[in-house]
Amino acid sequence: MSKDDTQELINNIVKLSAKSLNGLDKNITKFIDIYYSKEKKYERALKQNQFFLKEWDKQNILSNKINKRKDFMLEQQSRMAAMGEMMDAVAHQWKQPLNSLSMLSDLLRDDYKRGLLDDAYIEDMTDTANQQIEYMISTLNEFRTFFRPSKDVQQFSIFNCMQSVQVLLKDELISQNINLHADIDVNITIEGIPNEFKHLFINLISNAIDAFNEKNIKKREIYVKTYQENDKTYIEFEDNAGGIPDNVINNIFKPNVTTKKEGKGTGIGLYMSSQIVQKHNGSINAHNSHIGAFFTIILE
């Protein structure tokens, strides 16, 4: 019933009650006054609720913008930290082949002076130099791929992803005396962004390296295993660095939470790792095994 129809009905009731006896008209008039009073209160409350709902929506929009900005800044901070580590790794990985090329150059000059050069010698020297150059190009391509921003979702192999990470961190793993055991089925593929998963693996490996150094672990082992079960893909990552302290393990994936000494860690590596996994419709959890930290990633 419209407001006009309601008013017309009330007017008719008032007219009819005026003809009645025993003061019925006064009671009905009083009842109508009460009705109008309640209606005005209801309208005021409705307007207030609408105002509060609009303000609530504004606050939610502002809060979402702030959260998105915060996540963006954390992602940029994480990427810059990774870039610094990767550039250091590039320098390490190029040092050995550059030294080899320098030695080959010196050897070539000395052997030329001694008259030892022939076609076979030049061919062998050229092959050796090209191997070193190809290694440097391959390494550089891996780093360029890692830092190239990509938002294209694609089907990719976890095995190939881990191989790229091993190339990126090869010298770091050797210099830190770390044995990386990768038990990964070459046939397991997932849908997502390969560079983000490389970042995820690098974060986990870097955390393990820091734990090895802080606790002065001599025999250093990292185990990575993948398998599929009940239409889900599992990635397990374990080290033998002694585990995560009990006072932080439940908050390990929150931003700015770190187990490292002051000035040694940003507390965003595992947070960004959890964000990457969630973006790929998965979950990540951590617990301590009998030898160290154990991370499980589950992808739907």
Instruction: Give the C-alpha separation, 94 to 125, whole Å.
Output: 19
pLDDT score recorded for residue 132 = 75
Q: Report the percentage of the chain scoring pLDDT > 90.
A: 25
Please report which confidence band the pLDDT of residue 10 belongs to, taking 50, 70 and 90 as the band edges.
low
Work out the angle between the directed axes of helices 24-113 and 194-214 (0-180°, nearest 10).
70
- Sign of the dihedral through C-alpha 228, 201, 293, 277: negative
Using CA atoms of 266, 270, 271, 273 in order, give the dihedral in degrees to the nearest 10. 130
Instruction: Give the C-alpha separation, 272 to 294, whole Å.
Output: 17
In this predicted model, what pLDDT tens digit does every residue of 141-196 receive, in sequence order?
766 666 666 667 889 999 999 998 888 788 788 888 999 999 999 999 999 888 88
In this predicted model, what pLDDT tens digit does every residue of 49-105 receive, in sequence order?
777 777 776 676 766 666 667 666 666 666 666 666 656 666 656 766 777 788 888
Residue 272, C-beta contacts closer than 8 angstroms, at least 6 positions apart = 74, 75, 78, 199, 203
pLDDT score recorded for residue 257 = 60
Average pLDDT over residues 225-234: 93
pLDDT score recorded for residue 219 = 93
* Comparison of pLDDT for 218 and 101, the residue scoring more: 218
Q: Report the percentage of the chain scoring pLDDT > 70.
A: 67
Instruction: Give the C-alpha separation, 128 to 122, whole Å.
Output: 10
- Residue 35 in this model has a pLDDT that exceeds 80: no
CATH architecture of 155-300: 2-Layer Sandwich (3.30)
Instruction: Give the C-alpha separation, 95 to 89, whole Å.
Output: 10
Please report which confidence band the pLDDT of residue 20 belongs to, taking 50, 70 and 90 as the band edges.
low
User: By three-state DSSP, how is residue 295 classified?
Assistant: strand
Query: What does pTM read for this prediction?
Result: 0.58
- Length of the chain measured in residues: 300
Average pLDDT over residues 189-213: 88
Please report which confidence band the pLDDT of residue 237 belongs to, taking 50, 70 and 90 as the band edges.
very high
Average pLDDT, the chain: 78
Instruction: Give the C-alpha separation, 81 to 84, whole Å.
Output: 5
pLDDT score recorded for residue 148 = 64
Work out the angle between the directed axes of helices 119-147 and 158-168 (0-180°, nearest 10).
110
Burial (CB count <10 Å: 0-12, 13-18, 19+), residue 34 = exposed
* Comparison of pLDDT for 224 and 27, the residue scoring more: 224
In this predicted model, what pLDDT tens digit does every residue of 114-136 receive, in sequence order?
888 888 888 888 888 887 787 77
Sheet containing 220-229: which strands, arranged edge to edge? 178-183, 220-229, 232-239, 293-299, 282-288
Please report which confidence band the pLDDT of residue 263 belongs to, taking 50, 70 and 90 as the band edges.
very low
* Comparison of pLDDT for 21 and 239, the residue scoring more: 239
Buried b or exposed e, range 81-93, using 16+ CB within 10 angstroms: bbeeebeebbeeb
Spatial contact of 268 and 255, defined as CB atoms under 8 Å apart: yes
23: enclosing H helix or E strand: none
CA distances from 84 to 77, 88, 91, 266 (A): 11, 6, 11, 13
